[in-house]
């Protein structure tokens, strides 16, 4: 499934795009935004494959919004003004939809986006790893992740989010099992079905919870409690 968001300051237009996304078998609606600023917040927490972006919006236009993104998802621009088409293709948009939009026009753009998406998915999810780092695919790029920079890894359905010490979290479509197999056992430990932690980043433990950044509480579940306690006992100074 291709995870999509729609961005439009017109409620009726936003509703129509949402209905078209839900109607298309290979698309999944991941969010609706009434402004580019809302979309920026959503992209920080949600992995998005494709955006349907209205160009004419207040504060920050759709075109300006896409240009601010370092590594944007696939983009289909939506507008009532045909003169923006050329500029849209200059920022590598998949397609351009002119309002009012029929489902036939929408499906044509969606199929074009699917062809791009399928081609990009042929890249490997993981390239390689060694004792110091690994490579993963995230948002159409291959990224190097140094083990020393990882604080903890969080499961999110079919995705994982890698929380880093000095950078924004990285999301990628991997299972916890596949990432766990690539991590050095002496440096990382799974403490919960949804969490793997970097042992060297632990600074505070309280009531079977590991605290990161003062406000992130990661529970140690019963399944992993004995192994984690054994690690603590070996490194505890009485």
Q: What is the pLDDT of residues 116-167, one digit of tens each?
A: 888 776 654 544 556 788 888 876 677 889 999 999 999 887 788 899 998 8
Instruction: Report the residue count for the chain.
Output: 238
Structural domains in the chain, sorted by start: 2-120 (3.40.50.2300), 126-234 (2.40.50.1020)
| Dihedral over alpha carbons 89, 168, 115, 93 (to 10 degrees) | -10
Instruction: Give dist(CA 158, CA 16) in Å, integer.
Output: 28
> For the whole model, what pTM was predicted?
0.59
What does the buried/exposed string (b/e) look like for 78-109 if buried means 16 or more CB atoms within 10 Å of the residue's CB?
bbeeeebbeebeeeebbbbbeeebeeeebeeb
CB 3 within 8 A of CB 21: no
Tell me which of 67 and 122 has the higher pLDDT: 67
Q: Among candidates 110, 117, 115, 143, which has minimal Cα distance to 129? A: 143
| pLDDT, average across residues 6-30 | 96
Check whether 16 has a pLDDT greater than 90. yes
List pLDDT tens digits, range 182-235: 899 999 999 999 999 999 999 999 988 999 988 899 999 999 999 999 999 988
DSSP 12: H
């Amino acid at each position: 499934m291709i995870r999509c968001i729609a961005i439009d300051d017109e409620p009726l237009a936003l509703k129509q795009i949402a209905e078209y996304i839900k109607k298309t078998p290979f698309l999944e609606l991941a969010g609706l935004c009434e402004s580019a600023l809302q979309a920026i917040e959503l992209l920080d927490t949600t992995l998005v494959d494709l955006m349907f972006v209205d160009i004419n919006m207040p504060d920050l236009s759709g075109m300006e919004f896409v240009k601010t993104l370092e590594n944007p998802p696939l983009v289909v621009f939506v507008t009532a003004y045909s003169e923006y088409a050329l500029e849209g293709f200059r920022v590598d948009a998949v397609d351009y939809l002119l309002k009012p939009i029929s489902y036939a026009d929408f499906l044509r753009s969606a199929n074009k986006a699917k062809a791009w998406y399928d081609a990009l998915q042929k890249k490997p999810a993981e390239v390689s790893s060694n004792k110091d780092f690994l490579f993963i695919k995230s948002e159409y790029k291959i990224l190097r992740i140094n083990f020393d920079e990882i604080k903890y890894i969080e499961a999110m359905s079919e995705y994982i989010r890698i929380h880093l010490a000095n950078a924004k979290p990285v999301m990628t479509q991997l299972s916890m099992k596949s990432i766990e197999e690539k991590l050095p056992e002496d440096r990382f430990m799974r403490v919960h079905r949804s969490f793997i932690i970097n042992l060297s980043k632990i600074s505070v433990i309280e009531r079977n919870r590991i605290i990161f950044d003062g406000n992130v509480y990661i529970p140690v579940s019963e399944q992993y409690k004995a192994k984690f306690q054994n690690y603590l006992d070996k490194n505890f100074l009485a």
